[in-house]
Structure 1
Amino acid sequence: MDINDYISFASANPVCYLATCDGDQPRVRTVRLFFADKTGFYFGTLSPKDMSKQLHHNPKVEVCFYNNPHNQAQAKQMRLTGTVEFVDDPKMLQRLHKKRLYLDDIAGRDLEPISEIFKVSTGDVHFWSLSDVMNEANLEHKVF
């Protein structure tokens, strides 16, 4: 597999699950991929949120993208394990904010000043499908 196969799958299935650590307790939540390219898999959050605090304290994450097909025989997931880096790019932050203006309406305020972007630019990624249920040890992994 080429990294582009993973980027394409994540882009086609942007709603995913991201796991952090809170001390010794794993925490998982649904998030939405901002975008992915050869420089990494990018996400947004808000600095007051627990997720942000957890990522700043321990930047190790695992993200699971899932295609959610009608026919479960076609189910496929992509697991991405890596370390988060926070991105300080005002133009990218404006792009994220513009894409998620609906959150300002929900919060009743401008969220751009507390928005953060983070990416996973190095790590391990692999696909898994139901046909792999007894073959996990032999799955192809891509280190990027």
Structure 2
Amino acid sequence: MSRTSESALQQEILSWIRQNQYVYLATVDKRQPHVRPMVMFVFDDRFFFVTFTGDAKVNQIANNKWVEVCVPLHESGNTGYIRLTGVAHIVKNPALKAEAAEQCFFFDEYFRGYDDPDYTLIEFMPETAEYLRPGERYSQTCNLKRYSG
């Protein structure tokens, strides 16, 4: 296992996240966790999800801001993961919603525009990361709070 300084570990984690947009998002409804695949994208060093306004995750995040994201990793036949724990919130700022919509590769397939009432933007602000490099046996943790906007 290769131990890495916190700063180098943060950069390595962020590099993986930028190239792996498919993640699993966990929210909680009352006491029951719910996990689903999502696309998470990085824009302006901030993390976002695009979803439909009526999806259960929107209400779950409104009621409990604590979420976890798991980024599955694959490299040279080995697997690993990044688990990000932090808070999420529903973005109301129309300018930010418009800018983020431009960064989402599938936005136009599902929404009529950034003012579409079915479009909800969720910002995720990770606080900690647990990182298991592909092929390693032990994970490392680090703080990511400084990267949250």
TM over 0.5: yes
Structure 1 pair 124/36, CA: closer, same or farther in 2 (3 Å)?
farther
> CA contact under 8 A between 1:20 and 1:55: conserved in structure 2?
yes
In structure 1, the residue matched to 2:80 is: 76
- Give structure 1 stretches of 5+ with no counterpart: none
Q: How big is the shift at 1:95? A: 3.7
Contact 2:48 2:123 (8 Å CA) reproduced = yes
Preserved CA contact (<8 Å) 1:35 1:43: no
Moved more, 21-30 or 81-90: 81-90
Write out per-residue CA displacement over residues 52-74 of structure 1, whole angstroms, 9 at most, x where no aligned residue. Answer: 111111111000112234612xx
Counterpart residue number, 1:34:
41
Match of 1:19 in 2: 26
**In structure 1, how many angstroms separate the alpha carbons of the residues matched to 2:62 and 2:86?**
14
Structure 2's unaligned 5+ residue stretches are 1-5
1:103 aligns with 2:107: no
**1:126, 1:142 within 8 Å by CA — same for their partners in 2?**
no
Q: TM-score by structure 2 length?
A: 0.75
Q: Tell me what 2:89 maps to.
A: 85
Higher relative helix content? 1
Residue 18 of structure 1 aligns with an amino acid whose one-letter code is L
In structure 2, distance between residues paired with 1:126 and 1:37:
23
Q: Which one of 108, 112, 119 corresponds to residue 115 of structure 1?
A: 119
Do residues 128 (structure 1) and 132 (structure 2) align?
A: yes
Contact 1:34 1:96 survives alignment (8 Å): no
Aligned-CA RMSD value = 2.3
Q: How many residues align?
A: 133
Change (3 A) 1:34 1:89: farther
